[in-house]
Chains A and B, each alone.
Chain A
Amino acid sequence: MLLVASCFFYMFFKPVYILILAFTIVIDYVAGIMLENEPDKKKKKKYLVFSILANVGVLAVFKYYNFLDGSFTSLASLGGLKINIPYLSILLPIGLSFHTFQAMSYTIEVYRGHQKAERHFGIYALYVMFYPQLVAGPIERPQNMIHQFYARHQFNYNNAVHGLNLIVYGLFKKIVVADRLSEYVNQVYLHPANANSFSVLLAVCFFSIQIYCDFSGYSDIARGTARVMGFDLMINFNRPYLSTSISEFWTRWHISLSTWFRDYLYIPLGGNRAGKWRMYRNLLIVFLVSGLWHGARWTFVVWGALHGMYTLFGLLTRTSWTKLAAATGFNRLPALQTILSRLVVFVLVTFAWIFFRAESFSKASAMIHKLFAGDYSSNLVQLSAEKGPLNLVLSFFVIGLLLLSYKLPYDLKLKNSLPFLAITTFIIIILGKYAGAEFIYFQF
């Protein structure tokens, strides 16, 4: 039943793309069984490599072909060569990067012996296709999910209420906060030339909050939907802008992806066991690949590289900062230290988001140029990004509501959910944006 629902859900977007999903499901299902049955380590490795290549191959064709084609053509033209490789005019299958990574985690775990190969094809297919998290995660692990599909789930009051809390809160984040801020952000990113420094500053800060609410809102809805049915999905966001360092930020932001990269890329590369410089190199590789995972554009690679550099800088200067804080007596003011650290992390992350949001380097450079141009004129049309003062006031108001929601217990396990549900539903109906944009992470 769940599998049929998941197929229907996926085919709602573009029915034919179910074949791509079916291809990876069949490959990884067979690979899993072969990996388990094979005693020879070398052959086992071959099966794993074959399965990974099949998954990465699908990604390469559907997501990175045009990017590689464009980059190669540009590189050749720099060397005076004129190459004309045809572009593929295909639509990116929705959530491709998410379910491909989830499928890969299965074969890797079977290879490592942490997970038994799944013999029931339907259960394995459901592991890849489970509809709440199919298109934008969380990217689950087989150890957490497969056993849940065998369990019999019945209606449970606590699960239903907790699930509903998560769904409603996720909708609040998406429809009320993210879609509201997107009005301002989209306008400024569309015409940076019309904006002044202040409106660009507001737009980049708003985007930081927009993308958090957009993506974590989806994760909350996914977790809530699964929870109502009695399934547990992993927590994907843990109030990331409260981080006091970039390393901490990555333990709170898109947790399912960062742990995926840690377990399946960083540690296999040697992690921090092979000396300091190898560790730095590994970290940089992980962040670059993470950037590329997000999208087939060089701006995403720069975004990843920036985070890599922030992390390295943080690691390299950690002792110096501690010494400086001790020497100046700053360490005796822990509250101020925390506030300042959070502010620095927010500024750094926000700056990197410029490359994530801009469609091209020229757009990103136009935004950065405007940001530092020092044009702080008090033109109301510029300040409100041509969207009117009411939109600006409401943008700040919904950010205030978001901050207020941080007073709620973590993970929304409330003693009495009714007031929360009633108030949040009211807010959604009154302040929600109608026909808002789709989720940003659907494109990945």
Chain B
Amino acid sequence: MQEPNSSISSFKQFLLKILLPLILIIGAGGYVFNYLFEQQIVFKSQGCGAYKVNRILYTTAPDEIPIFGSSRAEGGLLPDSIGKNYFNYGISATKYNVTLFFLEQECMKKKNTPWILLNLDLNGLEYGPGDLSNYIPNSGSEPVRALLDSYYMAYFRIPFIRYYGCFETYLRSYMNDKLELKKVNNKGASIEKKHHAQRAIC
């Protein structure tokens, strides 16, 4: 039978030898991994929703004509086939409030061009943020928090942990961008290869 003192010293030992070092290792390692993952994967794939949200928040290209909308925009409008300065911000499964968010961010920028291409249809006239992984890397931004509203989770602010269950989503986006197995990617647009070939013939 253990004495209470030995129980306390045992707990201290557990705390100092296992729990605290474990938290430190995961915290430090996770922070580094989080940084590398965001810089090398998430923000390196133009087709990724998180990249698009980041781009609309923090990048200003005065001559860029943005294309906003959902998957119909993303998979239907190829920037290079329209003109030189287009970028497709379409994100799959987004609703009107997300398009509105993009519009608001765009309207705050100083631009040389008044043009914005907007792809709206009846399916988009619902309310909801769509896939939350589109916002997690930018969840520190006030407009994103306002957009997410009740969908915002406190753990979105914890590096590394916040991506639990989402790493695969970003990796898939990245691989789709780089490998182009089934889709052709062009400045944020992502179009099925067979459709792309048909359009080229037209």
The docked-state distance in angstroms from the alpha carbon of A245 to that of B13 is 45
> What is the interface size of chain B, counting residues whose CB is below 8 A from a CB of the partner?
31
| A152: chain B residues within 8 A (beta carbon) | 1
Q: Interface centre among A154, A161, A431, by most B CB within 10 Å? A: A154
Does B148 interact with chain A (Cβ within 8 Å)? no
Does A121 interact with chain B (Cβ within 8 Å)? no
- In the bound complex, do residue A421 and residue B181 qualify as a contact, i.e. CB atoms below 8 Å apart? no
Smallest CB-CB separation from B171: which chain A residue? Answer: A390
The docked-state distance in angstroms from the alpha carbon of A160 to that of B7 is 11
Q: Which of chain B's residues 1-44 have a Cβ closer than 8 Å to chain A?
A: 1-2, 4, 6-8, 10-11, 13-14, 17-18, 21-22, 25-26, 29-30, 33
SS class, residues of chain B in contact with chain A = helix
Whether A429 contacts B21 in the complex (CB less than 8 A), given A155-B11, A390-B175, comes out as no
- In the bound complex, do residue B181 and residue A389 qualify as a contact, i.e. CB atoms below 8 Å apart? yes
- In the bound complex, do residue A157 and residue B25 qualify as a contact, i.e. CB atoms below 8 Å apart? no
Question: Shortest Cβ distance from B181 into chain A, in angstroms?
Answer: 7
Q: Which of chain A's residues 394-444 have a Cβ closer than 8 Å to chain B?
A: 394, 417-418, 421-422, 425-426, 429-435
- In the bound complex, do residue B167 and residue A431 qualify as a contact, i.e. CB atoms below 8 Å apart? yes
Does A388 interact with chain B (Cβ within 8 Å)? yes
| B167: chain A residues within 8 A (beta carbon) | 430-431
Smallest CB-CB separation from A390: which chain B residue? Answer: B172
Does B160 interact with chain A (Cβ within 8 Å)? yes
| B126: chain A residues within 8 A (beta carbon) | none
- In the bound complex, do residue B22 and residue A155 qualify as a contact, i.e. CB atoms below 8 Å apart? no
- In the bound complex, do residue A157 and residue B13 qualify as a contact, i.e. CB atoms below 8 Å apart? yes
- In the bound complex, do residue B13 and residue A429 qualify as a contact, i.e. CB atoms below 8 Å apart? no
- In the bound complex, do residue A161 and residue B14 qualify as a contact, i.e. CB atoms below 8 Å apart? yes
| A417: chain B residues within 8 A (beta carbon) | 18
Does A164 interact with chain B (Cβ within 8 Å)? yes
Could you list some 13 contacts between A and B, CB below 8 A? A155-B7, A156-B7, A157-B17, A160-B10, A390-B175, A422-B22, A426-B26, A426-B33, A429-B26, A429-B30, A433-B165, A434-B165, A435-B165
The 5 closest A-B pairs by CB, nearest first: A434-B165, A154-B7, A157-B10, A422-B25, A154-B2
Known: A154-B10, A432-B165. 6 other contacts (CB 8 A): A156-B7, A161-B14, A429-B164, A431-B167, A433-B165, A434-B165
